[in-house]
């Protein structure tokens, strides 16, 4: 079975391979630089750069679940000599930045919604972050959409368990 999955993976197009592998922090930074037209690693305190860096830190910390030390090392490897306190300050000020710059929310959604490059872990974290801001109508619709999915999985698991249990008794 594993061999078949590897064979199928090798035969996929490059765009599909991006979906299977995890996106790197460098790719996220490059994508943010591309859509915001701001160099994330430029050493400056201009507001635009600070806001985009804050967004990058928010994505790396909250969606990629990178520890502060790895984020710091990532910046250091890209020519920006900072420590963890700078990252903490950036994370704390992200809510303020997005309040005054609505483009940050659009860019955040673009990064998280980028289906071709996103792994399932990021999708789950994005859903967790969005669920608290949904109104009752949206929650009702979402409940209707996913209500049958776990039941089907549970039924299949029960059948497999019953079959295995029955086989063990024989």
Are 149 and 96 members of one domain? no
Are 76 and 120 members of one domain? yes
Given this model, what pLDDT does residue 18 score?
31
Are 38 and 54 members of one domain? yes
Distance, in Å, from the CA atom of 76 to the CA atom of 40, rounded to the nearest integer, reads 13
- 9 within domain boundaries: no
Given this model, what pLDDT does residue 109 score?
86
Given this model, what pLDDT does residue 86 score?
93
Are 127 and 144 members of one domain? no
Q: Is 100 helix (H, G, I), strand (E, B) or coil?
A: helix
Other CB atoms within 10 A of residue 73 CB? 12
- Residue 141 is part of which domain span? 136-170
Given this model, what pLDDT does residue 19 score?
35
Per DSSP, 42 falls in state S
Are 35 and 89 members of one domain? yes
Are 85 and 150 members of one domain? no
Q: Are 58 and 65 in contact (CB under 8 A)?
A: no
Per DSSP, 23 falls in state P
Are 53 and 88 members of one domain? yes
Are 43 and 114 members of one domain? yes
- 3 within domain boundaries: no
Distance, in Å, from the CA atom of 17 to the CA atom of 8, rounded to the nearest integer, reads 10
Residue 119: phi, psi to the nearest 5? Answer: -90, 165
Distance, in Å, from the CA atom of 30 to the CA atom of 26, rounded to the nearest integer, reads 6
Other CB atoms within 10 A of residue 5 CB? 10
- 1 within domain boundaries: no
Given this model, what pLDDT does residue 152 score?
56
Are 89 and 106 members of one domain? yes
Given this model, what pLDDT does residue 52 score?
94
**CATH number assigned to the domain comprising residue 62:** 1.10.1750
Are 145 and 117 members of one domain? no
Structural domains of the chain, count:
2
Other CB atoms within 10 A of residue 138 CB? 12
Q: Tens of pLDDT along the chain (170 residues)?
A: 222 233 333 443 343 333 334 678 888 899 899 999 999 989 899 999 999 999 999 999 988 889 999 999 999 999 888 999 999 999 999 999 989 999 999 999 888 776 445 667 667 777 787 787 788 888 888 888 877 675 555 555 555 555 555 444 54
Given this model, what pLDDT does residue 49 score?
92
- 153 within domain boundaries: yes
């Amino acid at each position: 079975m594993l061999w078949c999955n590897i064979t199928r993976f090798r035969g996929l197009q490059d765009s599909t391979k991006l979906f299977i592998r995890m996106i790197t922090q460098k790719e996220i930074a490059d994508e943010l630089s591309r859509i915001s037209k701001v160099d994330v690693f430029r050493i400056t305190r201009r507001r635009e750069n600070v806001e985009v860096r804050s967004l990058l830190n928010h994505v790396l910390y909250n969606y990629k679940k990178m520890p502060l030390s790895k984020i710091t090392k990532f910046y250091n490897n890209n020519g920006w000599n900072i420590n963890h306190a700078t990252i903490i300050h950036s994370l704390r000020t992200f809510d303020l930045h997005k309040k005054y710059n609505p483009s940050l929310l659009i860019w955040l959604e673009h990064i998280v919604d980028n289906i071709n490059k996103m792994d399932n872990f990021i999708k789950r974290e994005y859903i967790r972050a969005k669920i608290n801001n949904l109104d009752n109508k949206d929650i009702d619709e979402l409940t209707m959409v996913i209500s049958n999915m776990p039941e089907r999985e549970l039924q299949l698991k029960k059948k497999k368990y019953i079959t295995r249990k029955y086989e063990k008794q024989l």
